[in-house]
Structure 1
Amino acid sequence: MFRFFARLWQGETDGLTAAAFIVGTASLASRLVGIFRDRMLASTFGAGNLLDSYYAAFRLPDTLYNLIILGALSAGFIPVFSAWLETKSREDAMHLAEQVLSVVGATMAVACAFLFFFAPILVPIIAPGFEGEKLQTTIALTRIMVLSPLFLGMSAVMGGVLQSTRRFFAFAVAPVLYNLSIISGIYFLSPSIGIYGAAFGVVLGAFLHFIAQTSVAFRLGIRRLPRPSLSDPGVRKILRLMAPRALGLAITQINLAVLL
């Protein structure tokens, strides 16, 4: 049984139908777990200031993730990495992935630190009308949850590696682990620390999202984090491909901020 699961977790998926089945089934499972998570949040904290603060605390981390990672990285990294797998050696392709992982990690770490320190200034902007204890709770939650884009950003690179090498199982299961971690935070931590238990669950979920995919990527050859460098030709090509998509996402985020 263990060997079967290990092969499923680490092995290459044969055929488009099998890949679609794995991703589709895991996506359905993630949505069902997400529904249970939301019901658990509502039943534990009820509609009111605490849940308002919790959901508002996602805005800065999600904006950071959307701007730097979502769509833009996929538009740049996966095509270049896949091309390197076909035209160069696997070792060269994995070295490129390590370089991108290092650059993304460093960029996200700096951005997360910026959001952490400037949360008292930024949160009132993205959550107008929040005052007093509600505002302070939102700031505190944001400062906890701002760690999540760091792990999710690096996990996105690992996900690109897994998709390009047809390792779909860990890639598909990672979001389920993310939601299960939030549920665990609510169940185990919230009785003692309240809504902050859910926030720590978010961070744990992002970490497990990263670790789940890293466990497979490590066996594929990603073993180190080199010093971040933008001089690598592959990294520069990825950045050029990312730029138009990142600009479009930035405009979208600004429009959403105006609507809020």
Structure 2
Amino acid sequence: MNLTDRVVVITGGAGGIGAAMARRFTAEGAAAVVVTDLDGDGARSVAEAIGPVAHPAAVDVTDEEQVRSLVADTERQFGRIDLFCANAGVTTGGGIEVDDAAWDRSWRVNVLAHVYSARAVLPGMLARGGGHLLHTCSAAGVLTAVGDAAYTATKHGAVGFAEWLSVTYRDRGIRVSALCPQGVDTPMLAGGLADGHLGAKVIAASGAVLTPDQVVDAVVAGLAEERFLILPHPEVATYARRRAEDPDGWQAGLRKLVRRLTT
């Protein structure tokens, strides 16, 4: 996808990767960038800093009716949506002890929100014969988020759903990309480090933390090539192969890393 003159919607756009997408897509010549977030003030701040191409909206992606309204309002104002970026995500930093409410929120934000946006935006894209869905899924979706059970499970679900969409709709003109970065310098990572989350410590110890702008460099290249898996950290592909070829050895390596960081 060439981003020039495209109409783009981004969820989770008040900071981190979402805000970086909004800035870069505008620089690439997008006709309109709708910046949405549960934090409406944050979305407005990002949009105002970008200029008249950007349009803020306060949206709870776990509320399907709000997502439908977002899509309908955008199509009404701009005539279409060319690229929908389901980018909002949450983490817990815990394991099986995490309460049901946190598991439910992880499921709703990290998986069901992708379902809701696909339900809302696909009819218009299919009618026009084209469109692109970009789902931020995380390297946790193809590997494991050590220390965060809910994040691991839901991000695997997000990758699986994105793959299903791609298999089902590509021949009808719909392109789907799963963005799977590893460590990114975002408020989510900073908060995890501040709270002492094991997963955040693992990411920091890897020494491969990218800026959101570096992640979006990979996004723009991946969209242009219409790739399914967009891996800002190329080493994730190597890790995924090792994990598939020798799951026991892969898990042994992770356990060794955990012992080193916790003893």
**Shared fold by TM > 0.5?**
no
TM-score (norm 2): 0.31
Query: Which structure shows the higher strand fraction?
Result: 2
The higher relative CO (CA closer than 8 Å, separation ≥ 6) is in 1
